[in-house]
Chain A
Amino acid sequence: MARQVTLNRRLVNTAVAWGFGLLIFFPILWTILTSFKTEAEAISLQPSLFAFDWTLENYQEVNSRSNYPRYFMNSVIIAVGSVVLGLIIAVPAAWAMAFVPSKKTRGILMWMLSTKMLPPVGVLIPIYLLFRDWGLLDSRVGLVLVLTMVNLPIIVWMLFTYFREIPGEILEAARMDGASLKSELIHVLTPMAVPGIASTMLLNVILAWNEAFWTLVLTTTNAAPLTQFIASYSSPEGLFYAKLSAASTMAIAPVLILGWFSQKQLVRGLTFGAVK
């Protein structure tokens, strides 16, 4: 009887989880399906889920109009570059806050988080003027710097949370064995925090990949990433939903695949220390 109840509960839980999963995934599925429709079918008020004339014409049009590989490479460089630079800065910062806290540590952490509450448009003009004067407009270096600053508070907070779960005694033991600060960070702390660092990296790559304010405003052609690629297919006067869906599918596909293959690490990292 007890086994039957447990089985029923598992079935219900599974069904509910699948239901939520499909609900969340449905807009993405709809976008992917629309990308294979004609524009007329895309705006039909009696839409069909699968029974329509499948076509690749939107992908052909998008590929002929836009240089997708260039946008893609820019996205990769900007997303990965900003996260790598962010980790280089954040690992020592989070180490200091987790293992050598001072009276001001909590205040500094809160201050870092508070910078995320400022609407980006509030600092648009100063940043734009700085970029103009430094020659960083439409450069990947400039975007790497900006996105590093944008995501740094999240990276530091996440790493700080993971590092706090690591017993300080292990680091002390390494120090007593003669490890330098650099060795302690690279050879002791980092290997133990790999799941946390990996999930931080993955999450922030996704955030940087999808960032659509600075990447639109600070780039024109050379450094334009996939966010601009998508924006070039949106129009308030004209029905180009199928082409927009094709462009969106091409833009989200890499990060979707990355997320799919790394979901174990993501979940493991995000739930790290959640249950003791």
Chain B
Amino acid sequence: MQKSAIALTVAVMATGASLSASADTLTIATVNNGDMVRMQKLTDDFTSKNPGIDLEWVTLEENALRQKVTTDIATKGGQFDVMTIGTYEVPIWAERDWLVPLEGLGDDYDVDDILPAIRGGLSVDDKLYAAPFYGESSMVMYRKDLMEKAGMEMPEAPTWEFIGQAARAMTDKDNEIYGVCLRGKAGWGENMAFLTATANSFGARWFDMDWNPQFDSQEWSDTLNFYVDLMNDAGPPGSSSNGFNENLTLFQNGQCGMWIDATVAASFVTNANDSKVADQVGFALAPDNGLGKRGNWLWAWSLAIPAGTEKEESAKKFVAWATSKAYAELVASKEGWANVPPGTRTSLYENPEYQKVPFAAMTLASIQEADPTNPTVEEVPYVGVQFVAIPEFQGIATSVGQQFAAALAGQSSVEDALKNAQSLTERAMKKAGYPK
């Protein structure tokens, strides 16, 4: 009896090993956001058109997904056939031949329709290594009523000076209204995404052409001093803990005059079901300082195929389906044009129906303003607007982000934060063998 029980237990556990994916099942790793969840609900369209291909989804929070797919692809684990990755990973992985070049996606795929800025960020040597599912930049979202109350008018392309004046004029701390909400939480994809893009518009850069860190430059000092002063004067309390979701909550509850963040937020803040200020939201380009670069970033969640998958052809069929013009039309027919994944195709922005979406034009203009191959005022040896596409960047930028968050929280001075950022970046880059 006991032996039977043990045998049964082992057999049940062993079932897991034998249940590996069949030849026709694609395992797709993806992030949890509205567009990706919508795609999962619409996959019947794909499976009906491609009988014999089944889809298994692994949906995870962004950071957990990044750790998992990076481990898998670096060790050639082969657990996934399609991976959702960002513009940061694509150039690094493509150079290591970890990704399948996306050629032969079908006659009607129209690869030239992909927005040039997005396509540039996902290509190496003119070869596309990931197909964009949705693209985003950053822009200013502001309260028209509070702006009017402050006696100011938001230009379509504001300067940082204007943003500073408007934020201070809109702030009413007694009534818990804060002129501006910005990312403060430490992390390479949190405060450093915003601050790196902002620094570009102040003329700063992460490295010179010899890979020497530049945090000891006047431009970085100007950037960080402006940010900390602005947030102290017109930001919400505890902003060094605020990321996208915290600021979204504040904005939707009517407590932010302006919010500079991802263009994807536009659909949230204008959704009357969730936002108390849905009918009062205006949009403008991310600010500049008249130096030729704006403080907006560029990002695309994209579908890539890991090299070594045995189901390359089926994976290509899926990638082509999910990032095609036809998919956009499918979403529009089921859930309306406002829910079509934004920021990937020129044809979408030429569509008269999509042009009626209130944030469509500003999203496109913001994406077009960003140039990942030429992100800064002065020349740099790297690709990436709000990141530097080298493997070491995640670790370095998270440490630098902690220094800057400490300065915002008042735990250290701006000068000390920059000094620490410079020394820790110098140390890490020397260790990695970068400076020439």
Residues of A within 8 A of B268 (CB): 238-239
Chain B, residues 58-72, CB within 8 Å of chain A (1/0): the string is: 111111100110011
Known contacts A233-B32, A237-B264; decide if A138 and B20 are in contact (CB<8 Å): yes
Instruction: Please measure, in the bound complex, the distance between the C-alpha atom of A220 and the C-alpha atom of B77, giving whole angstroms.
Output: 11
Chain A, residues 214-253, CB within 8 Å of chain B (1/0): the string is: 0011001111100010011111111110000000000000
Known contacts A43-B249, A43-B253, A124-B71; decide if A136 and B61 are in contact (CB<8 Å): no
Q: Which of A90-98, A127-135, A259-267 contacts B (4 or more CB under 8 A)?
A: A127-135
Check if B71 sits within 8 Å of A65, measured CB to CB. no
Q: Which of A52-60, A103-111, A139-147, A177-185 contacts B (4 or more CB under 8 A)?
A: A139-147
Check if A84 sits within 8 Å of B75, measured CB to CB. no
Which single member of A40, A77, A222 contacts B20 (CB below 8 Å)?
A: A222
Known contacts A231-B60, A232-B32; decide if A141 and B13 are in contact (CB<8 Å): yes
Distance between A40 CB and nearest chain B CB, rounded to angstroms = 5
Known contacts A45-B253, A239-B274; decide if A65 and B16 are in contact (CB<8 Å): no
| Size category, A interface | 35 or more
Residues of B within 8 A of A39 (CB): 274
Check if B34 sits within 8 Å of A222, measured CB to CB. no
Distance between B259 CB and nearest chain A CB, rounded to angstroms = 13
- Residue among A143, A144, A232, A237 with the highest chain B CB neighbour number at 10 A: A237
- Interface assignment of B48: CB less than 8 Å from any CB of chain A: no
Check if A237 sits within 8 Å of B68, measured CB to CB. no
Given contacts A138-B20, A235-B33, 11 further A-B contacts (CB under 8 A): A74-B16, A140-B13, A141-B14, A216-B60, A217-B71, A220-B58, A220-B79, A222-B16, A234-B64, A237-B262, A238-B34
- Residues on B facing A (Cβ under 8 Å): 9, 12-17, 19-21, 27, 29, 31-34, 37, 40, 56-64, 67-68, 71-72, 74-80, 189, 243-245, 248-250, 252-253, 255, 262, 264, 268, 273-274
- A–B pairs, 24, beta carbons within 8 Å: A43-B249, A43-B274, A44-B253, A45-B255, A81-B13, A84-B9, A128-B72, A128-B77, A132-B75, A142-B17, A143-B16, A144-B13, A217-B71, A220-B80, A221-B27, A222-B21, A224-B58, A231-B60, A234-B64, A235-B32, A235-B33, A236-B244, A237-B244, A239-B274
